[in-house]
Amino acid sequence: MSEPVNGDNEIVEGIDSRFLISELCELVGTYMEAEQVQEVYQAYLFGAQAHEGQVRQSGEPYIYHPLAVARILASMHMDVKSIVACILHDVLEDTPATRKAIEETFGEDVAHLVDGVSKLTHIKFKNKIEQQAENIQKVLLAMAKDIRVILIKLADRLHNMRTLGPLRPDKRRRIAKETLEIYIPIANRLGIYTMRHEMEDLVLKAMYPMRYRVLENAVDKASGHRKEVINKIDKALVTRLNEMGLDAEVQKRKKHLFSLYQKMRDKHLSFNKVFDVYAIRIVVDSVDECYRVLGVVHNLFKPIPGRFKDYIAIPKSNGYQSLHTALYGPHGIPMEVQIRTEDMDIYAESGIAAHWVYKSSDESGVTGAHARARDWLTGILEMQQSAGDSLEFLENVKVDLFHDEVYVYTPEGDIIKLPRNATPVDFAYAVHTDIGNSCVAVKLDHTYAPLNTPLYSGQTVEIITSPTARPSPAWLNYVVTVKARSNIRSYLKNMQADEAISQGRRLFERCLKSLGLRLEDVPEKSMKTVLDEYGFSSVVELLEDVGMGNRSASLVVRRLVPERIAQSDAEETREMRSQSPLAIDGTEGMVVYYGKCCSPIPGDDIIGILSKGRGIVVHRENCKNISQIRAEVDKCIDVKWAENAEGNFSCRVRMDVANKPGVLARTATIISDEGADIEDIEVEDRDGFTTTMSYQISLQGRVHLANIMRRLRKVSNVLKIWRV
């Protein structure tokens, strides 16, 4: 008998855990109509026939796996189409069944769900990482159209995690790592805490089996010692709540092993120092009663300062709502208390799946959360559109999923949620992409601050914009949100492409001009031949490639008009080229760079070097770093400064000064008074009597530099000054 096609499904399920179709029908029958239960049974017959002959490593029929996955979603009261798609979720991958057959039998919605969950098994990938990225991208994009796709995928992954046992250790760790990096954060983002917590514990068991067993034994041992204390707390709470006339359900629960493990690891604690192994949850009827219960528990037990969180007033981004507080119980033992309404409790367990629980009744408790999930899914689509490939998309998703939150305010008082360490640039893009693209400055609590300042909860953020501003590549060094990062990259890519096309055209026209031609004079047949030879579909692509320095314009021109080159004397052509160097005006943006080794500024004699993928790198003529490149004629370009060159150019000035007080302040003041910006200062004591100071300054050109150095020489304690 054949094994299933997909390796991740080769997971043994114990004989005792068999789940029969009769049990599934009985479970869904508690909330579905009779005809819907019949549809579930029809799906079972279809799936059983499709998987006939396939078995798991335990020897059981393969159909037990999809039935178990369906049970997970049925326990969350998911709709009939989700349950049917669960039963059929592997038929497209592992059986000859087609999408058309599923669509004809169960409808377009079910076919879309099954297709969305199915992996890309018929495409060859370079490596496992690329395959994982493509598969996850496919699922997430399908999820953006119908969120039930990811719920089925999460249930499938949860059952696979439950049955990892017989796999090789390396395969167990690979699946567990993927679960930890992708599926657990998605479950958390959608608020499905039941799945999230179970998957976390299973990941710990798969990746660190010894640690899991030790921690499990320690918790079991501690349970006996603390049970009496927890019972006292429970009794005291119930008695006081009854006295206050509050109808509340008090639940005791153990904290999950994974959260205990994280706390011990992150805070470097031994198990004996982790006291909040148990937590208490109080469920009431209304939001008003939540706050009344909070007052009761704070009167009964002393609260721990700094541990209160109000997720009712400000819900988490996944829609989770609850009051969290930590108290000192009897004997000073800390305990965690959560207070929420019944609707909040349902959502906390089922997350976005609660939307289907409420579909036939009142949706007021979940509409906001469902809207938040939709907003996130819209962001997923934006990520995919701006990402270069599936690997970049996957990294963006990971960054988006792993974050703690800060809450800041707009000047109008609206709350904006951002990840921890977010900056004003992240805030600007969170408000609107256009505001992010035109951001130039920020006020934090009405005071100007740098754009890379980390934001903290409670701050009021005011973005200053300019219609002429544009994103800076430097922003990528400190933004943390995916929306900001993807929009900046997308803008810079488009800007770089436009500038490269313009630069490529200038380089072409310069070479053609030396032959007495223009770009329009190149025969169409010759251009088509060259485009085909280089693999380009249009002249624009060729211009961009030349502008990025990937191809020499002079070499391309030789291919375009070989007969004109043959007619021209080489020496004459060289002289003609030298008479028309390329003008550099300082505003070329991302296709012209200035060598950091020699820091050329307007007024210097310069030379251009073609650099693959960057465009032109400008050096000073006497730069030692390019002495070997000069022999490669096709890489060197004659350039000159345009008469109206503008912008700020960086250079370094060094001076020896007498070791006297106030020299640094006086020299810095002179540089500032002359309108130059100081980017960096280095001070080195030489012999106790003299000091060498090195200033990296931003200025307009050689004349500007001369004025600054002239004034610095007049300072009494400056012994020597020179440009590096």
Cβ-contact 511, 554 below 8 angstroms: yes
pLDDT at 171 (0 to 100) = 85
Label residue 134 by pLDDT band (50, 70, 90): low
DSSP string, 140-201: HHHHHH-THHHHHHHHHHHHHHHT-TTS-HHHHHHHHHHIIIIIHHHHHHTT-HHHHHHHHH
In the 3-class helix/strand/coil scheme, how is 532-563 assigned residue by residue? HHHCCCCHHHHHHHHHCCCCCHHHHHHHHCHH
pLDDT at 395 (0 to 100) = 56
- Cα distances (Å, whole numbers) of residue 345 to 77, 357, 362: 15, 13, 16
Element (H, E) at 702: helix 702-713
In the 3-class helix/strand/coil scheme, how is 7-20 assigned residue by residue? HHHCCCCCHHHCCC
Spell out a b/e string for 654-666, using b for 16 or more CB atoms within 10 Å of the CB, else e.
Answer: ebebeeeeebeee
Q: To which residue do tokens 């600007």 refer? A: 428
Cβ-contact 416, 430 below 8 angstroms: yes
All domains of the chain in start order, with CATH: 7-207 (1.10.3210.10), 212-357 (3.30.460.10), 489-641 (no CATH), 649-723 (3.30.70.260)
pLDDT at 404 (0 to 100) = 60
pLDDT (mean) for 2-28: 55
The closest alpha carbon to 178, from 164, 192, 166, 194, belongs to 164
3-class state of residue 324 by DSSP? strand
Q: Distance between CA 471 and CA 491 in Å, rounded?
A: 7
pLDDT (mean) for 203-231: 81
Residue type, 390: S
Cβ-contact 84, 47 below 8 angstroms: no
Lowest mean pLDDT among 174-183, 364-373, 664-673: 364-373
pLDDT at 121 (0 to 100) = 38
Quote the DSSP letter at residue 271. Answer: G
pLDDT at 384 (0 to 100) = 52
Token digits for 115? 């297709």
Residues with Cβ within 8 Å of residue 494, at least 6 apart in sequence: none
Q: Distance between CA 146 and CA 166 in Å, rounded?
A: 34
| Helix boundaries (H) for 420-471 | 424-431, 433-437
How far is C-alpha 77 from the chain's CA centre? 32
Q: Distance between CA 81 and CA 598 in Å, rounded?
A: 67
Cβ-contact 639, 559 below 8 angstroms: no
Cβ-contact 592, 503 below 8 angstroms: yes
Token digits for 1? 């008998």
pLDDT (mean) for 354-369: 47
Can you give the pTM of this predicted structure? 0.54
Residue 14 pLDDT exceeds 50:
no
- Parallel, antiparallel or unpaired: strands 334-341 and 278-284: parallel
Label residue 445 by pLDDT band (50, 70, 90): confident
pLDDT at 83 (0 to 100) = 92
Label residue 36 by pLDDT band (50, 70, 90): very high
Label residue 573 by pLDDT band (50, 70, 90): very low
How far is C-alpha 425 from the chain's CA centre? 15
Token digits for 45? 């017959």
Residue 16 pLDDT exceeds 50:
no
Q: Distance between CA 667 and CA 563 in Å, rounded?
A: 61
pLDDT at 579 (0 to 100) = 43
pLDDT at 380 (0 to 100) = 55
Residue 126 pLDDT exceeds 70:
no
- Please give the residue that has the higher pLDDT: either 133 or 6: 133
pLDDT (mean) for 540-564: 77
- Please give the residue that has the higher pLDDT: either 645 or 215: 215
Residues with Cβ within 8 Å of residue 379, at least 6 apart in sequence: 400, 482, 483
pLDDT at 379 (0 to 100) = 59
Residue 569 pLDDT exceeds 60:
no
Active-site residue, 94 included: yes
pLDDT at 203 (0 to 100) = 92
The closest alpha carbon to 185, from 419, 411, 413, belongs to 419
Tallying the residues shown for the chain, one arrives at 724
Measured over the CA atoms of residue 3, residue 6, residue 7 and residue 10, the dihedral's sign is: negative
**Looking at 39, 79, 90, 93, which residue is catalytic?**
93
Q: Distance between CA 540 and CA 473 in Å, rounded?
A: 24
Cβ-contact 513, 548 below 8 angstroms: no
Quote the DSSP letter at residue 2. Answer: P
Percent pLDDT > 90 in the chain is 13
pLDDT digits (tens, 9 = 90+) for 44-92: 999 888 888 887 766 678 888 899 999 998 988 888 998 999 999 888 8
Q: Which residues pair with 698 in a beta bridge?
A: 650, 677
Residues with Cβ within 8 Å of residue 530, at least 6 apart in sequence: 542, 556, 559, 560
Active-site residue, 8 included: no
pLDDT at 39 (0 to 100) = 92
Cβ-contact 132, 178 below 8 angstroms: yes
- Please give the residue that has the higher pLDDT: either 417 or 48: 48
pLDDT at 653 (0 to 100) = 92
Q: What is the mean pLDDT of the chain?
A: 78
pLDDT at 120 (0 to 100) = 38
pLDDT (mean) for 149-159: 87
Q: Distance between CA 452 and CA 449 in Å, rounded?
A: 8
- Parallel, antiparallel or unpaired: strands 323-328 and 302-303: antiparallel
The closest alpha carbon to 110, from 154, 135, 78, 138, belongs to 78
Q: Distance between CA 181 and CA 162 in Å, rounded?
A: 17
**Looking at 79, 90, 94, 604, which residue is catalytic?**
94
pLDDT (mean) for 498-517: 77
pLDDT at 462 (0 to 100) = 92
Token digits for 317? 């981004």
Residues with Cβ within 8 Å of residue 665, at least 6 apart in sequence: none
pLDDT at 354 (0 to 100) = 59
Q: To which residue do tokens 């960086």 refer? A: 650
Angle between helix 128-145 and helix 108-117 axes, rounded to 10 deg: 150
pLDDT digits (tens, 9 = 90+) for 577-594: 444 677 776 666 667 778
Strands (E), 477-614: 582-584, 592-594, 606-611
Residue 262 pLDDT exceeds 60:
yes
> How crowded is the C-beta side of 482, counted as CA atoms within 13 Å?
24
The maximal CA–CA distance of the chain, rounded, in angstroms, is 106
Quote the DSSP letter at residue 477. Answer: G
Label residue 576 by pLDDT band (50, 70, 90): very low
- Cα distances (Å, whole numbers) of residue 443 to 417, 420, 488, 622: 18, 19, 21, 45
Percent pLDDT > 70 in the chain is 79
